[in-house]
Amino acid sequence: MQGEKKSGLSSFLSGLEAEFKRIVFPTRQDVIKQSIATVAISILIGLLITGLDIAMKWGLGLILVK
């Protein structure tokens, strides 16, 4: 029984090691490009939401005042 657990653990660890060798990390340049794209898109979406909010406030102001 003890031998079976050991071989199971050994097999698991060797499989884990094989999976870790398959991991491909992005280069520094890729991370920088993706970070810039993420920040730029976040700013654009924020500006879009702000513009829609201002337009809705203005439109509701016109409707509710009359």
Residue 45 one-letter amino acid: I
Q: pLDDT band for position 7 (50/70/90)?
A: confident
> For the chain, what are the domain ranges?
2-65
| Tokens standing for residue 16 | 């884990």
Quick: pLDDT tens for 25-50.
999 999 999 999 999 999 999 999 99
DSSP string, 18-62: HHHHH--PPPHHHHHHHHHHHHHHHHHHHHHHHHHHHHHHHHHHH
Q: Which helix (H) or strand (E) holds 13?
A: helix 2-22
Looking at residues 1-23, what average pLDDT do you find?
A: 81
pTM summary value:
0.64
pLDDT for the residue 1: 47
Percent of the chain's residues with pLDDT above 90: 77
Mean residue pLDDT across the chain: 91
